[in-house]
């Protein structure tokens, strides 16, 4: 120590410079240490978030008791939280009747085959010597499975000629086919399409299944059938797009997809499926639109001519719609809530995210009440104005105050910043009774695509991606309108080649097809009976 002090300069100014330099170094070290601490905390949060996504529950629903147990590490606010929870508990929701538990009976429309088990003749004698009389029977049912059957349909075309003049031979015309000169019938094409895009069976698996049935069918042939069927179905997808454009309310979202052989792009890059949900409550339309990029221009091109309410998440590609005079851009509360819910799932202490989620829970409780009371758009509008408006004002005041109490780069700080940046879009829903509070309905339509993506992993080319967009559009629209997809595709693939005008094609849209025609399209009469019962129940 004495040697170190002896080496110090005697000049006072030089000593000041050394002290200032040491202080600066200390500040830099503390700043670097804090950055490392923040980085470690961020990595821990991301790790816990990934583990929750992989092994935890995906639901964003929390009870008030759960919210007190899980939140990010921030100072708790018991008074505010208690007030919000108390206000939330005061909301009255109509009661409902619980469904009975237990085994459900087998459908009545299924064919029954009886196997009678009777006593032997010597067992029908009572111990007293008299004959036993049959007083009834006990029936127990077991469900049997019969493997799929494949048959060959022969089209016999009769030929005619004149023996007198030996003129030209006349032959009966073959009905228009979805794929000319192909051995695939509309039923087989529908089966391949539904298996791939609805049941998530890649074509190579279908190839193996056909081989087990003794049918050698190359995967390339199946792929060719899918591409050609999509071209036949393209006018229907265009009709769904027109319906979305002409109506005044639509939702939009996008999801990534990998396309291998895409022009001017590496096979590791991302492409996107843009999905749009619109139409009317009784005629819903869902359209998938494949695009190689996530540029907002894709949405602008698709929605060209649209006038009305557009509801999206917070992706910046939709920002240009804010300045369009004919479009009212509205945000999604589910995405706002998700930012806070992720913090609650990962962390274990009470904090500010609890307060934010409780505010949003009150908004959703109002929506649930309106939905269970089957209120009209006008009634929902007035309910939102009376009940949701004050909650939004209180929530906005809390966000403004809390923003200055948390680090901007913390997860709670980012969640609050997202809510404030999107606030001008989030609050607009209360002024439109026909608008939902979030885009969850559209995300539910995207979920089958995301599930299938885990099976087939990627699409081979841009043509395959475009074909998938066409088929997914029709399958999602069928599901939204309670239409059985196989029967629908079999019917339209048989009818579309016969159509000559756009008016005839529009009659084949999922919500425009006569359900009884779909019953006839299915070859199994037992299934037709089931469909007829469902149609009758839906119409009533």
**Model pTM?**
0.78
CA distances from 437 to 51, 319, 396, 518 (A): 29, 19, 17, 35
User: Contact at 8 Å (CB) between 499 and 472?
Assistant: no
pLDDT in tens, the chain (540 residues): 455 556 777 777 777 777 887 787 787 787 778 777 777 777 777 777 777 666 666 666 655 444 443 333 333 444 444 444 444 444 444 555 566 667 788 888 888 999 999 999 888 898 888 899 889 889 888 888 888 788 888 888 888 888 888 778 898 888 889 999 899 999 999 999 999 999 988 899 999 999 988 899 999 999 999 999 999 999 999 999 999 999 999 999 999 998 888 888 887 888 999 999 999 988 999 999 999 999 999 999 999 999 999 999 999 999 999 999 999 999 999 999 999 988 887 776 668 899 999 999 999 999 999 999 888 999 999 999 999 999 999 999 999 999 999 888 888 999 999 999 999 999 999 999 999 999 999 999 898 888 888 777 778 888 989 999 999 999 999 999 999 999 999 999 999 999 989 999 999 999 999 888 888 766 544 333 444 444 444 433
List all residues 6 or more positions away from 532 whose beta carbon is below 8 Å from its beta carbon: 516, 519
Long-range CB contacts (within 8 A, 24+) of 449-458: 449/255, 449/273, 449/275, 449/288, 450/255, 451/200, 452/196, 452/197, 452/200, 453/257, 454/200, 455/200, 455/201, 455/202, 456/196, 456/200, 456/202, 457/258, 458/257, 458/258, 458/259, 458/260
CA–CA gap between residue 424 and residue 421 (Å, rounded): 8
Quick check: helix, strand or coil at residue 461? strand
The first and second tokens of residue 32, run together, are 């670097």
The DSSP call for residue 131 is: B
């Amino acid at each position: 120590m004495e040697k170190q002090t002896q080496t110090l300069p005697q000049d006072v100014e030089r000593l000041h410079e050394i002290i200032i330099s040491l202080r600066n170094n200390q500040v830099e070290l503390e700043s670097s240490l804090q950055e490392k601490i923040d980085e470690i905390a961020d990595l821990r949060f991301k790790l816990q978030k990934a583990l929750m996504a992989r092994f935890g529950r995906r639901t964003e629903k929390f009870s008030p008791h759960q919210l007190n147990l899980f939140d990010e590490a921030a100072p708790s606010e018991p008074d505010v939280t208690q007030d919000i929870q108390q206000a939330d508990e005061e909301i009255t929701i109509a009661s409902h009747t619980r469904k009975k538990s237990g085994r459900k009976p087998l459908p009545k429309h299924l064919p029954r085959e009886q196997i009678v088990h009777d006593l032997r003749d010597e067992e029908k004698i009572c111990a007293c010597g008299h004959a036993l009389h049959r007083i009834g029977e006990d029936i127990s049912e077991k469900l049997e499975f019969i493997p799929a059957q494949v048959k060959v349909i022969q089209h016999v075309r009769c030929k005619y000629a004149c023996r007198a003049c030996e003129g030209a031979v006349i032959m009966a015309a073959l009905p228009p086919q979805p794929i000319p000169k192909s051995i695939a019938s509309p039923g087989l094409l529908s089966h391949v399409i539904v298996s791939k895009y609805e049941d998530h069976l890649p074509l190579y698996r279908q190839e193996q299944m056909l081989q087990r049935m003794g049918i050698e069918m190359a995967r390339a042939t199946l792929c060719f059938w899918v591409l050609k069927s999509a071209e036949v179905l393209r006018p229907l997808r265009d009709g769904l797009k027109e319906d979305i454009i002409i109506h005044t309310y639509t939702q939009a979202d996008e999801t990534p997809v990998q396309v291998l052989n895409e022009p001017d792009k590496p096979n590791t890059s991302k492409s996107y499926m843009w999905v749009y949900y619109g139409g009317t409550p009784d005629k819903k339309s869902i359209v998938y639109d494949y695009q190689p990029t996530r540029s907002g221009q894709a949405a602008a091109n698709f929605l060209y001519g649209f006038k009305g309410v557009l509801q999206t998440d917070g992706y910046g590609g939709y920002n240009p719609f804010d300045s369009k005079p004919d479009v009212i851009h509205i945000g999604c509360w589910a995405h706002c809530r998700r930012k806070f819910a992720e913090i609650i799932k990962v962390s274990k202490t009470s904090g500010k995210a609890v307060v934010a989620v409780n505010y949003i829970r009150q908004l959703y409780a109002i929506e649930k009440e309106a939905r269970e009371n089957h209120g009209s758009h006008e009634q929902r509008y007035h309910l939102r104005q009376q009940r949701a408006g004050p909650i939004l004002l209180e929530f906005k005041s809390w966000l403004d105050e809390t923003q200055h109490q948390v680090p901007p780069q913390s997860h709670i700080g980012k969640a609050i910043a997202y809510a404030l940046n999107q606030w001008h879009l989030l609050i607009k829903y209360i002024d439109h009774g026909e608008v939902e509070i979030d885009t969850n309905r559209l995300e539910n339509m995207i979920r089958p695509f995301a599930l299938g993506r885990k099976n087939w992993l990627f699409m081979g080319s841009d043509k395959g991606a475009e074909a998938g967009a066409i088929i997914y559009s029709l399958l999602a629209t069928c599901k939204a309108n309670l239409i059985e997809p196989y029967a629908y595709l079999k019917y339209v693939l048989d009818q579309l080649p016969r159509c000559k005008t756009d008016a005839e094609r529009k009659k084949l849209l999922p919500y425009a097809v006569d359900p009884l025609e779909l019953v006839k399209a299915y070859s199994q009469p037992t299934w037709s009976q089931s469909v007829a019962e469902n149609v009758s129940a839906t119409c009533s």
